[in-house]
Structure 1
Amino acid sequence: MKNDQDIPLQKCFGLRVKELRDGKGMTQEDLADGADLFRTYISRIETGLANPSLTVIHALAKALAEPVASLLSPPTQLNVPAKTFTRNSIARGRVSR
């Protein structure tokens, strides 16, 4: 199903979740912890690759301290912001020599 601007519904929902999360200064990990979900699932939701259940939508709303209806509102931006990268590499259990 697509909205009136031909953007898939999951993509619009994901953009809205990202918008709310960014507005609260939360990372995907913060949101995942608050909603008791995996960070990778949050990423899939935000990119429109996942179709969350009502239970997950409710958990996201609670973690964001927003009403469920707020998550279902259209995002203010329909573009995906460019990814930001940290200057320092993140350790992934590898040892530099």
Structure 2
Amino acid sequence: MDLAVRVGLRVRELREAQGMSLSELARRSGIGKGTLSELESGRRNPTLETLYALTTALKVPLSTALLDLTSPATISGHAVDAVLVERFEAEADDSVAETYRIRIRAGTRQESAAHAIGTVEHLVVFAGTARVGTLSAPALIGPGMHGSWPADVPHLYEAPAGDVEALLIVHHPQ
């Protein structure tokens, strides 16, 4: 079963588990109902931006839609390619930490919508220089450097020069 089919089935399972209609998820996520239907049926490949919009509307971390895939899958967006490396669930406070290996493509910029309240992102750059953080106060982060920012507000990822290779950790409080 290919990635589109597996992720589409998972999104449908998550939506149905919450008793949400296709129309309601489309409205909450800002994704067209036809697009959502095609995604759930596996007829359309999910983009990183679309999956973030859907999982934010479902109030679950992105990794929830990627769980149980037989091999690590690359989810791509306009500017960023991401591979889920690990997901940690803390029993003490029900928080979730996701670890992604990401590439920000040279000369691209991705603006991400706000995630759930209290979500924080951390980035460690291996190669290249990234401009990341909140839209109002992005920071330049080069090789061997790290940064963090609140992800419960709109934020960005940008590679002003060459490709950026990095590790992204997203912490979701519950």
TM-score w.r.t. structure 2 length? 0.39
| Matching residue within 15, 18, 38 for 1:44 | 38
Aligned to 2:54: 60
* C-alpha distance in 2 between matches for 1:56 and 1:14: 12
Q: Distance in 1 between matches of 2:17 and 2:2?
A: 23
Aligned to 2:27: 33
How far apart, in 2, do the equivalents of 1:60 and 1:44 lie? 14
* Aligned-partner SS, 1:49: coil
Amino acid at match of 2:24: D
8 Å CA contact 1:21–1:27 kept in 2: the answer is yes
Q: Distance in 2 between matches of 1:30 and 1:18?
A: 13
Query: Does the CA contact (< 8 Å) of 1:13 and 1:74 recur in 2?
Result: no
The structure richer in helix per residue is: 1
Normalised TM-score (structure 1): 0.68
Instruction: Compare CA radii of gyration and give the structure with the larger one.
Output: 2
Q: Give, in whole Å, the separation in 2 of the partners of 1:67 and 1:21.
A: 13
Letter in 2 for 1:16: R
Q: 1:24 aligns with which of 15, 18, 23?
A: 18
1:92 is matched with none
Look up the SS of the partner of 2:43 in the other structure.
coil
Structure 2's unaligned 5+ residue stretches are 70-174
CA distance in 1, matches of 2:31, 2:51: 11
The Cα shift of 1:74 comes to: 2.8
The structure with the largest strand share of the pair is 2
Query: What percentage of aligned pairs have identical amino acids?
Result: 35
Shift of residue 16, structure 1, vs aligned partner: 0.2
Count of residue pairs brought into register by the alignment = 69
Q: Deviations over 1:16-65 (max 9, x none)?
A: 00000000000110110011011111100000011121111100110100
Task: Structure 1 unaligned segments of length 5 or more: list them.
Answer: 1-6, 76-97
Q: How far apart, CA to CA, are the structure 2 residues paired with 1:37 and 1:70?
A: 18
Equivalent in the alignment of 1:11: 5
What is the CA–CA distance in structure 2 between the aligned matches of 1:32 and 1:47, rounded to whole Å?
15
Aligned partners of 1:10, 1:74: CA distance in 2, in Å?
A: 14
